[in-house]
Amino acid sequence: MGSKSSVRLSAKKIHALILIFSAAVHLVTIVKDYAWADDWAFIAGYRTNSSEAKIEHISGLRPILQVIMDQSFGRISHYENLIFLRLIGLIGLLFLIHRLMKLLREVGYSEFVVCSFGMLINFLPTFWIYTNWASVFSYTWVCLLSLLSFNVFNRSKLLGLGLIITCFLIYQPAAVFSTFVAFAYLVKNGRLDEKNRLYLKFLVAGSFCGFLIGRLTGVIVGLPLKARTEIVDTPLELVEKIVWILTRPVLLSLRPFIIESRGILAAIFTVLGLFLTVLSLWQVTKRTGFSVFNFPLTLISVYAVGLLPLLVIAENQIEFRTLPATSCFGLLFVVTGVNFFIDKFLNLRGAASLISFMVFLALLSYSQGKINSIFIDSFRQNGSFIKSSYDELNSPDQIVVLIDSKPWPQSNSIGALSVKSDFQMPWVPIGAISQILRITENRLVVQVIDDDAVTSSGNAIDLRKLREQLTNGK
């Protein structure tokens, strides 16, 4: 009895250390002063009482998220205060990690899998985006609420459904995060029990109810819906969607951690991820037997529900922030595959520990480098350019911001993470420049000029020069 208690206590201490590590990893960056992309638009929108800021999420079928943004960004006047929102996002992630480790332990996974998953989730792009980008600070909490809805559902179907619908009215891709419960059970047992099957059905029903409530809210308020909310409605669109799902979100889930879209690193991690996934699936079949139809069809069904918000819409735009569930699917495949490989093929525990530690340090260095490059270094680069440009002006009452239609240089990353400067996003310059220079937004006017036009304005900040610097690698 005493020995079991001490083992349990030891596991609790290890899990506490994992949470401390998780907090430290994210605090290194989120406590710094910076903002990125949509952050600038929301700050400026609320400061100027813009109607667009107050309807942005309602038109995207997310009316509760609109309330959250009104009560968060609506109370922020300076970008330095975004640290508080990022901290809220981090707290949500810590609760989520704790809950996920508890879930994996309850399902029956080894402590190696439980602890490895708890540590490595910090290196998934989806989750370091959630903590380092203030605009999406609430998404870790939506994932947590979605996960908790499974437990609530087992006690009260009505309350569970209500919580699912609430999650869908905040952020749809995070609302289906609870599919990870079914996925973890499936990978461990090779099948789903009736409780998981019934919950998945209610999750689909909850998504449908959330969609209807979101549309009804838009109609009542009198807002047009965003184009991205349009539903797949032709056989050709459905075929294109299935191909896109398999070659983008599903494939990305099997090569976690890496944000590169192509190149040797992406290729290596794709092959390695597929290999570990095969090992994980092999482990399932050896332990539970294999049904040609049942297991593959169940796995496809769980993936489909985990990608439901992307599966039903016509738009095909890949972003890591929309993939919380399947990112964790892939991570569990990789971790269980590594666990199987070590047990069967790597007899030297010391060598396994050394290799694991080296991989861990490499992933830590990689993720921290990407976070700094995308969010912090680009902010400092933008700030330096804007301040030096402003110093050349004569403190005019009105400043013209010059842009044109030429493309900006991109990095070899997926989705919005590929931008080298968020100034290429048309909704960024007003908010960013006014915040950096500490001036009011009405002192800035954005002027879109012809590609080769020459301006003689002495009171202009020319963003074309910044683009040229980035193109030349300066």
Q: For residues 160 and 152, what is the distance between their CA atoms, to the nearest angstrom?
A: 5
Those residues whose C-beta lies under 8 Å from the C-beta of residue 150, and which sit 6 or more positions away, are 160, 178, 181, 199
Name the DSSP letter for residue 322: G
pTM tops 0.85, yes or no: yes
Element (H, E) at 274: helix 264-288
Q: For residues 407 and 355, what is the distance between their CA atoms, to the nearest angstrom?
A: 42
**Per the structure block, which two tokens stand in for 316?**
């095909």
Which pLDDT value is given to residue 449?
87
**Model confidence over 21-37: pLDDT tens digits?**
999 999 999 999 999 99
End-to-end CA distance of the chain: 65
Residue 280 amino acid letter? S
Torsion of CA 21, 25, 31, 34, to 10 degrees: -160
SS3 (DSSP) at 95: helix
Which residues of the chain are modeled with pLDDT < 50? 1-7
Element (H, E) at 448: strand 444-448
Residue 38 amino acid letter? D
Q: Where are the domains of the chain?
A: 2-345, 376-471
β-bridge partners, 35: none
Which pLDDT value is given to residue 3?
46
Contact at 8 Å (CB) between 35 and 43? yes
Helices 194-221 and 294-306: crossing angle in degrees, nearest 10, is: 30
Q: For residues 98 and 228, what is the distance between their CA atoms, to the nearest angstrom?
A: 34
